[in-house]
Structure 1
């Protein structure tokens, strides 16, 4: 474990105010102001991916990060003033790469992707900056002022999302520099340097569990979520609606509709996770839960989605079977009454079809759907 000693020094201009201050507070006169730190740092060849430098303002965090990691330190990015946030990423990245990066850090709101960076909320700007940092080709990225300007819920969820993304990339390393120690258990770093004492500790933290409560809700609950859906804000009048609550707050919404005809089935209608809670799998967890509940009604449960993050999740999940790979097109056929549920064609975007093949949830179906027998 190497030790790093760094020294800061600056001249003191003996102005009238400085001399008055020295007299008022009995500050010894000096030509220069200096401060030194001795800090243990992780070895360059050590086995780690996520690190954390934490301490109060003025404790030397940023100075240490510059001294230890040099050009890897990122304080921010220049973003186009009047172009979409997706246009702020390097030109050699495909749209698929950019949207995957944004989704990986919990920024999964396509309507916001087309807005300029300056028009995003603080939480969205935070996640966009993280996504761009993780697209950096350098193997090590150090982010200064990590979570300093966002709500603490956004900070915790965002920390969990970025840690998960980094650990999926072999050889990638990420260091967060922050004055907020509440992100530590969500970031789950391999090591932590506590400033100003400069102690390095190895940690084996586990992220706190996110325990969701799912309730059957009225259609009016959609008003909280509709502006964040990637297609439109409409809700079918016959939709069966559910919401997930965390710590008493609604965080995600899902609904299903019945598709009658010669072959009846239930279809996923709307699934939305609020932006502050994206990136840790809440939306997918609610979607899987609802599928298991609706499957108890004795009909297949199917879904057509264009969202890249949902497609990636379900393509790997044993709970879903892909019935149609991503392609342009897709059609919801009219039922025997001539009524078409949803959009008649989706020729302008890629969509994929899935069917839920996981286990039913009879106990939850009895509770939420008031079914007597399952």
Structure 2
């Protein structure tokens, strides 16, 4: 595929244009670019993700318009203002599989449940970027071109978002060409080919690039970090009694949080309050962090010095699917809706009476009273 771009020099005879031309002896006002992209011939390698990268004004957008035509340009589609993004993405999907939408939102790093329930126009710039990617993946066109890829977000979100998008897009069968002026996303995106409009030309890179490794430093902490993570948790529960907090750091930046407590009788541990900061979502950090902390408790590296397995409950569809596929975990329960809180209070009160510890029913603690679908898992560990 050869793309020839030629913009002739315009001849403006206004006073200011003539003055600038004469003062600076301006030349080269026109623009010419020949791009040879061997991506569609019989000798082309199989590919799914291509990247056109280069400085601003080097012809990236013009290439994007000519690869497959303007009809394949994506990213500027209108969004409805009166419905949340979980309804705005793939609204005509007759299968009713809403979890497919939430799974893609989580896959591209937009795992915050509150963000799913907000309209597009009230999202932050980073959330909008990921919502656009989720919409593209759900629709999964055969061919698509995305201009200004990662240009409107900070570089941390750009790199992580590029990696998350690449992993999710490769589950589709489509081809996408991304246009960007940032070179720092190349290793994270790991595209199949690159065309550098800055003079680097074309090169096949499929299987030759690897995402940089991420090292997580796990530290035991108190609840002082929870105020940073709490806005990104889908519940607003009270604090866990006698819990020990663990925080995962990347380059001294807190990125993941979990709290560990024990069940009555020290029979096993109980994990909760698992949160990954939005700018790090989409890389699988949450499950890796959860597994690492549970492995410590399984080895007896906990305040009790006991080898304890861990029980973990969640309602998050993406995390549920991830734990089901992990051989280190086994599912132990699945409730489609919560229990009656009154029945829970009665059961707790009767247990106290049997133990000789009486407390009035009206003052007992009860659990339940909600309609969340809760899945329970137990960490088994290696072997």
- Give the TM bin, normalised by the shorter chain: 0.7 to 0.9
C-alpha contact 1:3 1:38 (8 A) present in aligned 2 = yes
Equivalent position to 1:39, from 24, 35, 41: 35
Alignment of 1:58 with 2:74, yes or no, is: no
* 1:1-374 equivalence runs, <5 A: 2-9=1-8, 11-27=10-26, 34-44=30-40, 46-70=45-69, 71-93=71-93, 94-169=97-172, 171-197=173-199, 199-203=201-205, 204-232=208-236, 234-260=238-264, 264-295=267-298, 296=300, 297-325=306-334, 327-329=336-338, 334=348, 337=352, 344-345=367-368, 347-359=370-382
Which whole-Å deviations, capped at 9, do the CAs of 1:24-61 have from their partners, x for residues lacking one?
Answer: 12236x9xx64221112142263011111101110000
CA contact (8 A) 2:12 2:18 kept: no
| In 2, Cα distance between equivalents of 1:343 and 1:104 | 35
The answer to whether the 8 Å contact 1:139/1:172 transfers is yes
In structure 2, the gaps of 5 or more residues are 301-305, 354-358
TM-score, with normalisation over the residues of structure 2? Answer: 0.85
Q: Which runs of 5+ in 1 are unaligned?
A: 361-374
TM-aligned CA distance change 1:245 to 1:20, over 3 Å: same
Q: State the 1:97 CA deviation.
A: 2.0
- Does the residue aligned with 1:135 lie in a helix, a strand or coil? helix
Residues 185-240 of structure 1 deviation map (CA, whole Å, 9 limit, x = unaligned) = 00011111100437111221100000000000011221110111012253213111
Query: How many residues in Structure 1 have an aligned counterpart in Structure 2?
Result: 354
Offset of residue 299 of structure 1: 3.3
Question: 2:366 & 2:276 partners in 1: Cα distance?
Answer: 22
TM-score by length of 1: 0.87
Name the CA distance, whole Å, in 1 between partners of 2:179 and 2:369. Answer: 44
1:44-84 deviations in whole A, cap 9, x for unaligned?
Answer: 26301111110111000010011113222214221223432
Change (3 A) 1:95 1:25: same
